[in-house]
Amino acid sequence: MANTFFYGLLAGGLILASAGRADTTLMLDPANGAISGAPGTTVGWGFTFTNDINFALITGSQFCDSTSSPLPNICLPLSPDLGTYTDFAGAQFLVVGPSPESPTVSQAFDNSAATGIGSFAIDPSASGTTSGTIVLTYDLYSVNPNDPAFDPSAEIAGGNYLTAAASVTAAPVAAVPEPAYLPLMGAGGLVMVLLRRRRGWKGLGG
């Protein structure tokens, strides 16, 4: 009976602990993480990061090869001939959490403004689709890192990470179709030239 009561309290405590756990999520834009662009161009992802307990400081992002483990410390970079990934999120000192911060940060990709989670410069000779995993790393603090009195010792946990599947397709530039009227114009011009030559021949014969 005592054991049943103890295990009941333990289960209840685990449920409460789970309910109080931070809801930290990462979503890419587009949601399936699949983007495309012509070889030699730069594309990228927007993102939404949510953290509703403590203060999360985004420290960086990586695009890992699909064959590597999605852990930030053993992330294998993509083959350099496919393209180059550049981290945007980690360079912005984004803090996500309770007031006065926002529990959610959402950014569209803008290469010129360097917003979004990161960019991917597709190699000019690349072709096909490159699949992998984007890893976003962040540290958790009990005090807002934007507070003037911030003390780094307030760190709760460092090296946290979230992952999202991502892919880049090097789409070849489609040839611009020739307007239908151009061949007709060419044919018409040829007929005019032939008629003029014929008239010239007749003039010479008369």
Query: DSSP readout, 53-103?
Result: SSEEEEEEEEEEETTS-S-GGGPPBPPTTTEEEEE-GGGS--EESSTTS-S
The answer to whether residue 197 sits within a structural domain is no
The answer to whether residue 190 sits within a structural domain is no
The answer to whether residue 124 sits within a structural domain is yes
The answer to whether residue 117 sits within a structural domain is yes
The answer to whether residue 78 sits within a structural domain is yes
| Res 53: pLDDT | 84
| Res 17: pLDDT | 34
Provide the whole-model pTM. Answer: 0.73
Span between the terminal Cα atoms of the chain, in Å: 128
Name the residue range of residue 79's domain.
22-170
Total Cβ atoms within 10 A of residue 150: 15
Task: Give the residue ranges of the chain where pLDDT is below 50.
Answer: 1-21, 182, 184, 191, 193, 201
| Res 3: pLDDT | 45
- Locate 71 and state its tokens: 């852990």
The answer to whether residue 136 sits within a structural domain is yes
Number of domains in the chain: 1
CATH of the domain at 146: 2.60.40.10
Give pLDDT tens digits for 2-49: 444 333 433 343 333 333 445 899 999 999 999 999 999 999 999 999
| Res 73: pLDDT | 64
The answer to whether residue 79 sits within a structural domain is yes
**Dihedral angle of Cα 122, 125, 130, 135, to the nearest 10 degrees:** -40
